Every structure is written in structure tokens, then in C-alpha cells.
Chains A and B, each alone.
Chain A
């Protein structure tokens, strides 16, 4: 009994990391209405960037991650402005092809630069610390931190989108880009800013991922799949839904692993499919 409760708690915490992967995707799907196939690869790219920064300067994982945040914002801004924006509004296929191409470029670029080895970033002991809370449940300090940061990210993004002027502009452009232009809002620049914010969420999740899990240049697509499932489960456009979606996947995997280790990933996908068939619009749809 205690073991089962423990597994569920661990699953919930893993769900926090999944939600973090998914948050940027949730924003780009909900606001700009496209799926970035390179989303997972961008997370892996930033993990390598953090790794390289640590090796080059000897600083810790936290300052290295913080240093990548402005790079991620600017990178997201220009990626949208000069590449993705050109193919938006031309149907679903061009944007998928462009981001798919981007995914391949990132993977091969990383392979060429860093090799195929599996990497991990040291969190300086942080990643092994645990809290014993009785009843056979141990909570890792790192997973708990990730979970709390994931909640803070939802709160921050929710505030940004629904309580600030920038958020109103982003929603206006998302509603109707042509009318946004008509009232003088340059929709391309507003979208670019939104993608900059997506970039920041990517860098934050890259920082935590690089400490908690192993990664290699081809690790992106599996992150994309998890993120995509969390977004669809939660309902398009709902950030809280995305968090719940991530938690459901995390718990499903933890329980699946109880049956057999090989069931871990499969259980997550099966739960996704079952819920998707029952509720294609997701649990908390905004649209």
C-alpha cells in the first residue's frame, strides 16, 4: 500500500517535468496555433548549451541555466520573426515541414558537435537529496523543486497572458491577426515576442532536464511526444490543463512500471489514447 502511494507520488513529480516540457508547446499551440516539431530538439539543444557553458566556465548548473534564458528569448524571437512567421497562415503542411527540417538540423548539428554520447549535468548533490516524509514515501528534492517551478511557470504565464497588456496583445493577434494589423498591432512582432517567451520555458526545462535525466542528440523527439500528449490531454490553450496532462502521464508511467519495467512508457501512451478517444477536446479545453 505504502509502495503504491509512493509510486503515485513519484509519478506526480515526474509529471511536473513533463508539464515543463509541454508548457512552451502549449503556448505555441494555444496562441500561434501550430505544433513545433523541433520543440523537443530545442530543449535538448539548450541542455547541450548549458553543458558547454558549465565546461567552459566552471560555473554551476543554476547560473548556467539562468545565463541561457536571455539567449533563449532572443533566439525564439528571431526564429519566429524570420523563419516560422514566413510559413504561418499557409496551411498546416508548410509549418510542419519547416519545423521538421529544423529538428533534423538540430539533431545532426549536435551529433557533429558533441558526438553521440549520453550526457548528464551535475547538480552538485542537489539531485540526490531526499526528504523522508513517512509512510514509505521519499521525495527527492530535485523532483519536488521541478514540480514547484512548473506550478510557478503556469502561474507566471497565466498572469502574463491574462493580466498584462502584452498578454492582451498576444490574445488579440491570436484571435485575428488581420484585424490586429488593422488596429495597428504588428502581429508578426507580437508573435515573435510570444515565441521568445516559449524559448524561455524551453531553457528552464532544459536546465532541469539536464540534471535529472540523461540526454543525447537524438533525445528530442521523445520529449516532443510527451509534451504533445500532455498538451492534448489537458486541452488546447489551457496551461493548467497542460500541467494536469503532464501529471496524468507521469502517474500512468509510474504505475505501468509497477507491472513491468517495459510497460512504463507504453502505459503513458495507452492512457493518452484512451482519454483522447473518450475526450478528443482534452480535459480543460479553451477553444
Chain B
């Protein structure tokens, strides 16, 4: 079976600084892939490179059999890749509903409409006319995730969606991830929190200083081994 996303020898550098790579990895449709790694390992650089927003990148990115390496960010989004970016990056002067609508308008038709999103996140339904700056961190993250889902992507990239959130809120967000996967969407989860992301992942890659130093299935891998590779020991 061909992979949904197939990355070959991708590297990213910022000026003289080499931040990532070369790395190669694949994500299948209906598969949850976890990317773990410590601070500065290059996880966000990998996510940004996939959507064409990393400083300078080399390598090859194939999505659904088509080379998207040279496409613009907006084209990649419309091809069916949604990134829920680190730090949420909502539009502060827009309301909850307007933020969601932007994702929906430019996205594709599919399973996720407003009703589904408001059913997944009832807290947003009550606050749809509020400006996003009046929301709690968890609710803002729901908007960011909802905005990504409303585009009805085939591949969803989540960059540290649990950062700074209370454990109950994180559990709430992670409850949804397998439901999304079950609709045939490929998912990449970037986290520093190993336990949380390995618990939902089908496969994982561990990054250290820009390189993959361990990959496999969480079920077949010893936790101590993961921890050693994570810290580079």
C-alpha cells in the first residue's frame, strides 16, 4: 500500500544553522503517527517543512502520490493537509465561529461540518460569537483543532496541542484523536510528553538533534529504550 505521506531525506536549515534532517518517514491513511523529541529536536521544523513554511528545506515530500515539495502553503492546505500549529495561532480579531468558518470555507467537503465540531466541543457551541481572546487555553486549542478538522483534511498535523493545558483538558482532546483516525484520516502528533502520545499512536518516530534515532510501534518497544533515545543516552 502506498503511504498517504512519504517524506524522503528532508532537511531544514535556518541560515547556517542546521535544524533538521535528513529524515525520511511515512504516514498512512487512518494511521496515528507520533513524533517525540526533546526541546529543539526539530519537531516543529518538520511540521512546518511539510506545509512549506520552514526557513529553507531540501528533500522530497510526496502526498497522495504527488510531489508537493514545491507547492505554496495555501496550495498544500487545499490539497488536504491541515496543520494545527504550535501556539494555536488563532485569528484574534475573529470570533470563534469566524475562526472555524475560515477553515471550513477554504477546505474540502467531508465528514466534518459545524454540527460535528460543536458536538465534539460543546464548550465552543456556547461561545460561538465570542472573540477567541476571551476563551481559556483549552477552548482556544479546541478552536485550533476544530479549524483544522473543518477543512476536512486527509492528513492532520498536530503540533504540541497539549502544551500548557490542564490534564483533564488534555485527556478531553486526546479522546477525540482515535475518533478522527477512524474516519480514515492520517494523523501526526507531535509531543514532548511521551506517555500521552505513545498511548494513542500506531507508530512513532523519536527525534534527537534533527535526526530520527528510533522508530517503531509503541506496543513492541520497551519504554526505557524510548526514554534513552529521547534523551540521547
Contact = CB atoms under 8 A, between A and B. Distances in A.
B72 A181 contact: yes
Interface string A147-181: 00000000000000000010011011011101111
A179 B87 CA distance: 11
A176 to B, nearest CB: 6
Contacts of B89: 176, 179, 182
Interface string B49-81: 001010000000000000000001110011000
Contact of B94 (A172, A178, A181): A172
A165, A171, A182, A187: most-surrounded residue (chain B CB, <10 A): A182
Given A182-B73, A182-B77, A183-B102, A174 B51 contact: no
Given A181-B73, A183-B147, A185-B74, A169 B102 contact: yes
Interface in B174-231: none
A184 interface: yes
Contacts, number: 63
B18 interface: no
Contacts of B106: 183-185
Interface string B98-123: 11011101110000000000000000
A168 B74 contact: no
Interface string B80-98: 0011010001011110001
Nearest to A185: B106
Contacts of A178: 53, 73
A175 B74 contact: no
Contacts of B91: 171-172, 175-176, 179-180
A186 interface: yes
B151 interface: yes
Nearest to A286: B93
A contacts with B: majority SS: helix
Nearest to A188: B74
B94 A184 contact: no
Contacts of A175: 91-94
Given A175-B94, A182-B85, A165 B73 contact: no
A181 B77 contact: yes
Contacts of B102: 168-169, 172, 180, 183, 185
Contacts of A179: 85, 89, 91
Contacts of B82: 183
Nearest to B104: A183
B94 A168 contact: yes
A132 B101 CA distance: 52
A165 B53 contact: no
A235 to B, nearest CB: 15
Nearest to A175: B91
A182 B101 contact: no
A87 B35 CA distance: 37
Interface in A40-95: none
B54 to A, nearest CB: 12
A81 B73 CA distance: 18
A165 B51 contact: no
B98 A182 contact: no
Contacts of A185: 74, 102, 106
B103 A171 contact: no
Contacts of A169: 102, 105
Interface in A12-43: none
Contacts of B83: 182
A98 B215 CA distance: 52
Interface string B147-179: 110010000000000000000000000000000
9 contacts: A168-B98, A172-B99, A175-B93, A176-B91, A178-B53, A178-B73, A179-B91, A182-B83, A183-B148
Interface of B: 51, 53, 72-74, 77-78, 82-83, 85, 89, 91-94, 98-99, 101-103, 105-107, 147-148, 151
Interface of A: 165, 168-169, 171-172, 174-176, 178-187
Closest 6 CB pairs of A and B: A184-B77, A184-B106, A181-B73, A179-B89, A175-B91, A172-B91
Given A172-B98, A182-B73, 9 more contacts: A168-B101, A171-B98, A174-B93, A175-B93, A176-B91, A181-B53, A183-B102, A183-B103, A184-B106
